[in-house]
Each structure stands twice: as structure tokens, then as C-alpha cells.
Amino acid sequence: MQDTHQSTASAAGTTTDLPPARRPQSLPFTRSERSTLGVEWELALIDRDSLDLRQCAEEILQKVGPDPHVHGEMMLNTIELVSGARRTVAECVEDIALAFDRVLPVTDPLRVDLASAGTHPFADPLVQKVTNAERYARLVDRTRLWGHQMLIFGTHVHVGVEDRAKVLPILKALLTRTAHLQCLSASSPFWAGADTGYADNRAMMFQQLPTAGAPEQFNTWEQLESYTGDLVHTGVIEDFTEIRWDVRPSPRLGTIEIRACDAATNLTELAGIAALTQCLVESFSRTLDRGEELDAMPDWYVAENKWRSARYGMDAILIVNSAGEEELVGDTVERMLTELAPVAEDLGCATELDSVRATLETGASYQRQIAAVGAYGGQREAAVRLLLAEARAGRPLRPTEVLSLAAKS
């Protein structure tokens, strides 16, 4: 397979029929019911005996059979559970919990357990197998070493937007708070057994792919269509779905998709991230309804916040607005929970939004994993046992429970 970008570059001397600005890619935005949502949760397939990853997604999916809530992913060590398009977070979580339960009778005889985090604590990324699909083969062929190392798991949340004119302003406003979601969900401190010193190493890995990372901030939909057309014309992508931004519009679904979060390790935190995301989008939409402008930060603020979140997690001091003011992430989150409480009541997710406080109390997953490993003499297997225990419990474990778990291992 020839590298698409390479072949395009070699033809750079040829005549172009149309200048970039006249090659827009039409992106019709499907009308979606306001603030409805959908949640996607990527899960690791864990060998019960070795605690390493198992490359058995195809076998599991075949035995599960056609299921709209259970999907394959790029790597054969991964399955993805997805909700339907729902009005409430509780309905989304119920979809995912039921799908989780449907998969267990298939995985249990294989001695495979389900767990998740932004990365597996000790698995070797270079021995993982890629799903046999053309789009993945094309990605790996182009990205080589980095493409082979996508040993990462995420949580994605879609929120419906009823008016295309709102999408880009809300996207830019979300970038003032995406780093806070990243900190709360950070669950990838280890990479191939090494302590990276980062709370969210997944973010550092994923941004190595073309079109991944922080999004471009456009002022008009036409600019987005021209940008997409340029990427298609130059062979960077085949269609808009290959733009893998941390926050992106999903024109086909009529949503904004937030993709910056590490995979949640349990259903409680999955619900909390979904609720906070839904409330932010609805709050920004209400601001626009009042005829007010939404704040937007310069690109370099967004990039700096992403790095601080990845490196420091809940200890990060983040830039919170276009004026460059800074605040400890936990303080901002506490204020957000208070300010968004009325919105959560209206959306029916007050309980789920309040569950974010559990993360503030117990620490984010990366902190809990580090505590478990430290309590068990540095053994990375302790982190995997913690992830398995949280997936079963459906909630984050408190520090005393983490220490107890490690001691019994």
C-alpha cells in the first residue's frame, strides 16, 4: 500500500484546477434534538491469568452476535460499548451496563475479564494486533511506529445541537473546559510498564496521529468545509470522520463529540463525565439563546492546558479564560458543579453530575492506580487488579479500599 500523503506530495508540481478555498467538502449538519446524548466506552480485554491483554475481540464479537451496543475497535484487544441516542445520562449508562452484562457470558468461558483505563499498565504496545479492516490498515501503513502504538482507550460523549449556527461557538467554549474533563478522567499514568510521570499519557500518544489533538477553531461552517475539502484533496483524509480532534462536530449525527477523556474505569465516573459534558453544552447553548457571546481561548492556551492536564492531572493549574486567568483544576470543577446544578436538574442528571465529587474525594484514576502500585511494591499488576475491581464495583474505590486490594493480591 502506497502512502497517500507521499503520493500526493510527489505530485505537488502538477496544476491544481481549483484553489483550496474553492474546494469545500459539503458537511450537511443533521438536525438533532437539543442536549440529547450518546456515550461510547472502550474496554480492554484482560487475560484472567496473566492480567495482560488478549487479542480476542473478533471471537467475542462473533459469539455476541449483531448488537447495536457492542462494537469492535481498531485493536483486537478492545471492544466498545455504546449507548443509543438518549435524553438522559441514566438511560445511556443503562444501555452500557446491559451491554456489559450481555458480553460477560461470552468472555467468562474464555477466561477474559473486562476493564478499562486510558492505557493498560504494563502491556507491550508493539505486540498488539490491529483489526483487519481497510481503514485501520491504511492508518497503520501511513503512521508506522506510532500507528502500531495506539494502545489507548477512551470515553467519547456526543451531545445533540439543534442549530448548526451554535456548533462552532459551543466547540470553542468547550475548549475552555476540555482540560478539566481530561484531568478528571486521567487514567493512564503507566506505559508498557513504565511510570511516565504523566497523569494522562494517552493524550500524549494519541496526538501523534495526523489530525488528532486540539481542534482548529473556525468562525464559520464554510471555513470548516473548506478545511475539510483541502484535507481530502491533499490525501490527508478520505472523509470528515478521519479528523480525530479532542472535540469535533459530528455532522452526520447532529452532535458535538468530546473525545478528550481517558476511558473511565467504572460506570459511576463514566456517568459523571457524561453529565458534566451534557451540562456544559446545554449551558453554553443557553448563553447563545440569550444573545450573549461565549468565551474562546487562543490556540496556544488550549495547547498549554492540554499539556498541563496530561502532565499534572488534578494538580494542574489551568488557564480558565481568554484573559489568561489561572486556577487549580479542582477549584474550577467545584465551582462548575455548583453553577451547573440547575442545568443538571433540568436535564435529569443531577445525581450523575454530583457523582463527580467522588472523583474529587478519592482522586482520579491515575492517582488510585499509583497508590495501588505503591502499596504492592511497585507491581503493575496491582493497577490491573484495581481496574478490574472498579469495573465490577461500578464506582471508584477509596484509598483504604485500594490499599486493602493491593494487600490481598
Amino acid residing at 74: M
- Please report the pLDDT score of residue 234 as a whole number: 92
**88: amino acid identity, one letter:** T
Cell of 358: 467522588
pLDDT recorded at residue 22: 52
Is residue 27 within 8 A of residue 251, CB to CB? The reply is: yes
Would residue 129 be called left, alpha or beta, if left means φ above 0 and alpha means ψ between -120 and 50 degrees?
A: beta
Q: For residues 347 and 279, give the distance between their C-alpha atoms in angstroms, rounded to a whole number.
A: 8
How many separate domains does the chain show? Answer: 1
Q: Is residue 315 part of a domain?
A: yes
51's grid cell: 492480567
Give me the pLDDT at residue 106, please: 98
Contact between 56 and 76 under an 8 Å Cβ cutoff? The reply is yes
Q: pTM to 2 decimals? A: 0.92
pLDDT tens for the chain, residues 1 to 409 = 334 334 333 333 333 344 544 578 999 999 999 999 999 999 999 999 999 999 999 999 999 999 999 999 989 999 999 999 999 999 999 999 999 999 999 999 999 999 999 999 999 998 998 878 777 778 777 877 777 778 999 999 999 999 999 999 999 999 999 999 999 999 999 999 999 999 999 999 998 888 999 999 999 999 999 999 999 999 999 999 999 999 999 999 999 999 999 999 999 999 999 999 999 999 999 999 999 999 999 999 999 999 999 999 999 999 999 999 999 999 999 999 999 999 999 999 999 999 999 999 999 999 999 999 999 999 999 999 999 999 999 999 976 786 676 555 5
CATH of the domain at 149: 3.30.590.20
Amino acid at 36: T
Q: Which class for 146: exposed (0-12), middle (13-18), buried (19 or more C-beta within 10 A)?
A: middle
d(CA 39, CA 28): 22
**Exposure b/e, 95-125, CB count within 10 A at least 16 = b:** bbbebbeebeebbeeeebbbbbbbbbbbbeb
Residue 397: inside a domain: no
Strand partners for 78 = 44
What is the C-alpha separation between 384 and 118, in angstroms, rounded? 12
For residue 359, tell me if it sits in a domain.
no
Residue 358 lies in a domain: no
* The predicted structure's pLDDT at residue 344: 99
Residue 142 lies in a domain: yes
The DSSP code for 286 is H
* 7 in any annotated domain: no
pLDDT for the residue numbered 307: 98
154 falls within a domain:
yes
Closest of 129, 111, 185 to residue 396, by C-alpha: 185
Tell me, what's the pLDDT at 405? 63
User: Is 394 a member of any domain?
Assistant: no
Phi, psi of 128 (to 5 degrees): -75, 150
From the list 391, 155, 368, 388, the residue with the least C-alpha distance to 273 is 155
Beta bridge partners of 256: 159, 249
Q: What is the pLDDT of residue 2?
A: 37
Gyration radius (Cα) of the chain, Å: 21
Residues spanned by the domain of 176: 23-350
pLDDT, position 13 = 36
Q: Which ranges in 186-298 belong to alpha helices (H)?
A: 201-206, 221-233, 267-289
State the amino acid at position 102 in one-letter form: R
